[in-house]
Structure 1
């Protein structure tokens, strides 16, 4: 299907038509050419369990592979579901993953709000599918967090409102969709019911031909949705607790599934925490209306707190900008700055200067106020 040949003088890449359903294309073939010259086989990681590569789909079928040679100390460079790997050919025992190709995109979150380490959840994804259950009250702030990480990954976010059958009133459902659309500018929002199939075909068509990662809290219905998209009961499903609408971690590994309508889906364990990790660009895209307003502020470094000529505060005052959105924007900006500052000395210095500037301005304002009262 592709002209899978290496650069001049190099060996030809093995026939890889069997990898096309998993996302193999001409660009991956070109990137893999140096490894083909070494006699290695291309493959895509389809399952990682507790940080260890378990299964890789290759031209020889699905194999188990040891990741000793690609397990660095940097948690962002460990092998991950969705990676394209170079593995030992048939006859090697054990089989090793010798390298993986440079990632096009990667979905990364912070492992903890108190630490500066990132955790990669999926690699080379085109769509970040954020599953949000309608069985519980919408948490718009959490959706914004997922969206920020989704945009930062380089993938296109898609919000799926699962269990839509639990909202039988069409008008009420439309209001919920509208609330999320306001929270997610530039993002497709789809109400879906895996139980009766409503919306599943639309979502499948949206994801067709690409690699998607399915994200969300436990109990969001990810495994049920994955089964509906795959057209088979591939993922185990457990009932959620009635008391809080949450579920146990049905999915404990990150699995890559081929979808019958085209494309592949990476299902992930439920996420308790959604910490930002160097996601400044993603936050800006989630709050694009605030970023656009900020361009009209009098001062370029406006913090949108009490500065004169602040276009953001003016929009807040006239009701154009909801207060919840601005509060959430400020919160995510601060959190992201703290994470970045832990690993970037320049950012720490900039933050200290900003704190001193604001402190001096506050002190000057208080002294001026006292002077007027005398």
Structure 2
């Protein structure tokens, strides 16, 4: 690695650089070796015209987007996102800020969380990259929605990061324990669930096991769920702007307007994100890894392989519902998400086929031009 002093490595690890011997560290060494004059920097903010990158805590500079990333047909999910690591040249000594950085390469992601972008056309949008944990934040007010939590778990599952459900505003309700009971099927899938007062450091300390030095956590959830309040408490100051929520539906305004990576006093990094109202699957999700492993296992026990889980004899899923071992609302949400994933997968397959056909056509056209005019 270009950083060859203890202090330089320490600066990088303070913003999430992996420790020696970790899988991502090994995977990145080959890319680093190919660019001996470059050094790593992490994307801490993403904007349309470029990026804000850092090679040390509190030291951020602008970096121009590469021209190919700005092309309309360049896949959005292949552009760097907050949490990605880039190799930079220029900019002076590590931690100095210096002049404008020049991007020369990107390091492969080891984890990511993404969703299908809004709109009719198929696109993928990366929410955050190179993360260890996803805090799914949900308020214990009108924001509490088990079905939406399941949707988040589906998007997180398979991306490589550990999901943790954080139920905020526990100080405002008598029913926090009841909410945890409602999510019993979630905890049964190995997903931790916590109730916290996001303004109370002692309450938030429950999350400390996921906020160790060198770890990166991303916060996702609705606007007004308490993500920025939670971040401020973990920081120990009011860095992130917060706002009140409407009493009618507990929805908040978008006090966080862009994704940003922030080093925490614990040594971990936190990525705060704007509230997401639309959570579309990409078509790459696995329902077994996305919080529905129990239902998938039940479906495998049905008498008929193509069982629709409606009125067929020998349906293990319906039998579990009748025995009240499976919540019917959760099962109906599973069916809805299964159909959405299948529809998105069809769009993805069509897009990949179009792309493949375009390559074949371009190759044939180039060959005809070469045969007619020779190589240029």
TM-score (norm 1): 0.82
Contact persistence 1:110–1:275 (CA under 8 A)? yes
Equivalent residue, structure 1, for 2:298:
293
- C-alpha distance after superposition, 1:140-195 (max 9, x if no partner): 1111001111113211100000111101x3xx221111112324521100101022
Deviation at residue 243 of structure 1 after TM alignment = 2.7
Q: Of 164, 167, 172, which residue of structure 1 is paired with 2:170? A: 164
Q: Quickly say closer, same or farther: Cα 1:65–1:280, change in 2 above 3 A.
A: closer
- C-alpha distance after superposition, 1:33-63 (max 9, x if no partner): 5445430111111112357312333599432
C-alpha distance in structure 2 between counterparts of 1:190 and 1:94, whole Å: 42
Deviation at residue 68 of structure 1 after TM alignment = 2.0
Contact persistence 1:147–1:282 (CA under 8 A)? no
Equivalent residue, structure 2, for 1:90:
91
Q: Of 200, 207, 225, which residue of structure 2 is paired with 1:196? A: 200
Contact persistence 2:140–2:176 (CA under 8 A)? no
Moved more, 19-28 or 154-163: 19-28
Query: Does 2:148 align with 1:145?
Result: no
Equivalent residue, structure 2, for 1:365:
none
Deviation at residue 121 of structure 1 after TM alignment = 0.8
TM-score (norm 2): 0.82
Number of aligned pairs? 338
C-alpha distance in structure 2 between counterparts of 1:71 and 1:95, whole Å: 16
Q: What are structure 1's unaligned runs of at least 5 residues?
A: 349-374
Q: Of 232, 243, 252, which residue of structure 2 is paired with 1:247? A: 252
- C-alpha distance after superposition, 1:309-368 (max 9, x if no partner): 2211111222221211110110000011111101215999xxxxxxxxxxxxxxxxxxxx
Alignment of 1:233-312 (within 5 A): 233-282=238-287, 284-312=289-317
Q: Quickly say closer, same or farther: Cα 1:64–1:5, change in 2 above 3 A.
A: closer
CA RMSD of aligned residues (A): 2.8
Q: Of 95, 103, 111, which residue of structure 1 is paired with 2:109? A: 103
Q: Of 226, 230, 250, which residue of structure 2 is paired with 1:221? A: 226
C-alpha distance in structure 2 between counterparts of 1:219 and 1:298, whole Å: 46
C-alpha distance in structure 2 between counterparts of 1:231 and 1:219, whole Å: 20
Q: What are structure 2's unaligned runs of at least 5 residues?
A: 93-97, 354-376
